[in-house]
């Protein structure tokens, strides 16, 4: 089965990991420091905290922001559940705002009436790798003293109006799962414009340990001392993973170029095909395409999905609207809440897209779509 996404691992990637295994530091060593510096540089020169996954990056970001009971997070339902569930787990209330009909990105016009004094975070998702409209979302958050968060699990390496992903929102999170734009196996990172939030997030992902003597509340314990002021978890990424991440970062521009090439090949092939719609791209954005979300019209998405799977093409659907998950339905969220997201879900079909996909495999996918539609 041709997968919808997969990692690309080079001999250099393998050697970078092997070198760590021969060395002194398997975790909390120099590769972690170097990877965080490189991710921070790529993301606009802000501090990055590496974490064990994109999910833990979101949890860490929300914890760094100080999210808790009584706070609201306005977010998109067109995402992986973790964008919302990590805020829910901290006790916050999720307020779903609808997406734009064409891009499936959080719609600032839908967000506007939902932002109140209770709003602590406006969390957008760079769906498929296309940056959300942060220039419209930021003033809505600023008006009530809330922060913007970019779930950039799909979009590391992209830009909008010349500014890199990581510099577009107050906080940005990444995932380095194997299907994403670059991988560390499991892994993620959270980036913050405000250093105080970054420090709090760093402590959260490090069991809450405070190790700076200047901040000790028990100053006379001795040289071994470290102490906890706020509860945290161990979400530390290893040097093994970070060495892979550093090697992958060197290949990101090449991954981006190849992903764009494949997207262009799909777009050209489907331009004249009836019964499908191709993804749109706003002016001024330079995405790293993570997904190729084809839209299958006339209620035929499931039929095309099944025919293509039978053809050996590992198509996927991204995503069921978050509030359709039983955990949110049980909490009282009703179907119909976000009609654009639901309509998008009904049509969406993610075609294979990853750097090592060959042109002939792309053509095979196109032929499978066309045959299935006949
Ligand atoms: C993959 C993903 C996550 C979670 O990342 P993991 O590394 O799988 O935990 C969060 N949000 C979005 C939009 C994702 O695609």
Ligand 1 binding pocket includes 132 (Cβ within 6 Å): no
pLDDT of residue 157: 98
- CATH assignment of 11-249? 3.40.640.10
pLDDT of residue 22: 98
Ligand 1 binding pocket includes 151 (Cβ within 6 Å): yes
Ligand 1 binding pocket includes 82 (Cβ within 6 Å): yes
Ligand 1 binding pocket includes 153 (Cβ within 6 Å): yes
**How many A from CA of 55 to the centre of ligand 1?**
6
**How many A from CA of 315 to the centre of ligand 1?**
18
Tokens, residue 8: 């690309």
- Domain parsing of the chain, residue ranges: 11-249, 252-373
**How many A from CA of 154 to the centre of ligand 1?**
8
The CA distance from 124 to 101, in Å, is: 15
pLDDT of residue 174: 98
What percentage of residues in the chain have a pLDDT greater than 70?
Answer: 100
Q: Is the dihedral of CA 355, 356, 359, 361 positive or negative?
A: negative
Ligand 1 binding pocket includes 291 (Cβ within 6 Å): no
Q: How confident is the model at residue 347 (pLDDT cuts 50, 70, 90)?
A: very high
Summarised one tens digit per residue, pLDDT across range 129-148 is: 999 999 999 999 999 999 99
Summarised one tens digit per residue, pLDDT across range 61-102 is: 999 999 999 999 999 999 999 999 999 999 999 999 999 999
Name the residue of 5, 51, 53, 55 whose CB sits within 8 Å of the most ligand 1 atoms, as the mutation to test its pocket: 55
Q: Which pTM does this prediction carry? A: 0.98
Give mean pLDDT, residues 293-308. Answer: 98
Ligand 1 binding pocket includes 155 (Cβ within 6 Å): no
Summarised one tens digit per residue, pLDDT across range 200-257 is: 999 999 999 999 999 999 999 999 999 999 999 999 999 999 999 999 999 999 999 9
Summarised one tens digit per residue, pLDDT across range 306-317 is: 999 999 999 999
**How many A from CA of 177 to the centre of ligand 1?**
7
- CATH assignment of 252-373? 3.90.1150.10
What percentage of residues in the chain have a pLDDT greater than 90?
Answer: 100
pLDDT of residue 279: 98
Nearest CA to ligand 1 atom 6: 54
Ligand 1 binding pocket includes 79 (Cβ within 6 Å): yes
Average pLDDT, the chain: 98
Ligand 1 binding pocket includes 77 (Cβ within 6 Å): no
pLDDT of residue 179: 97
pLDDT of residue 332: 98
pLDDT of residue 228: 98
The CA distance from 250 to 242, in Å, is: 13
Summarised one tens digit per residue, pLDDT across range 253-273 is: 999 999 999 999 999 999 999
């Amino acid at each position: 089965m041709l997968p919808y996404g997969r990692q690309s691992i080079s001999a250099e990637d393998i050697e970078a990991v092997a070198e760590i295994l021969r060395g002194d530091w398997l975790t909390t060593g120099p590769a972690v420091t170097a990877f965080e510096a490189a991710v921070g540089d790529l993301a606009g020169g802000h501090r990055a905290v590496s974490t064990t996954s994109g999910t833990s990056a979101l949890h860490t970001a929300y914890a760094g922001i100080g999210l808790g009971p009584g706070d609201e997070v306005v977010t998109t339902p067109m995402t992986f559940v973790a964008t919302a569930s990590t805020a829910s787990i901290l006790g916050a209330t999720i307020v779903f705002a609808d997406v734009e009909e064409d891009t499936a990105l959080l719609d600032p016009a839908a967000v506007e009436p939902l932002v109140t004094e209770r709003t602590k975070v406006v969390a957008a998702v760079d769906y498929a790798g296309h940056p959300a409209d942060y220039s419209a979302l930021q003033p809505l958050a600023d008006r009530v003293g809330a922060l913007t968060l970019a779930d950039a699990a799909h979009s590391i390496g992209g830009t909008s109006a010349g500014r890199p992903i990581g510099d577009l929102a107050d906080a940005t999170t990444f995932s380095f799962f194997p299907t994403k734009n670059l991988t560390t196996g499991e892994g993620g990172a959270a980036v913050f414009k405000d250093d105080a939030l970054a420090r709090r997030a760093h402590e959260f992902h490090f069991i809450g340990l405070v190790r700076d003597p200047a901040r000790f509340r028990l100053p006379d314990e001795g040289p071994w001392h470290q102490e906890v002021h706020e509860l945290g978890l161990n979400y530390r990424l290893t040097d093994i993973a970070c060495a892979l991440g550093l090697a992958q970062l060197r290949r990101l521009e090449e991954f981006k170029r190849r992903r764009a090439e494949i997207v262009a090949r799909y777009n050209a092939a489907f331009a004249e095909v009836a019964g499908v719609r191709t993804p749109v791209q706003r002016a001024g954005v330079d995405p790293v395409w993570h997904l190729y979300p084809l839209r299958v019209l006339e209620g035929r998405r499931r039929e095309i999905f099944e025919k293509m799977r039978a053809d050996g093409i590992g198509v996927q659907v991204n995503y069921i609207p978050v509030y359709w998950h039983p955990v949110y339905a049980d909490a009282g969220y009703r179907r119909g809440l976000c009609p654009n997201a639901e309509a998008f879900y009904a049509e969406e079909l993610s075609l294979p897209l990853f750097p090592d996909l060959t042109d002939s495999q792309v053509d095979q996918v196109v032929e499978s779509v066309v045959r299935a539609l006949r």
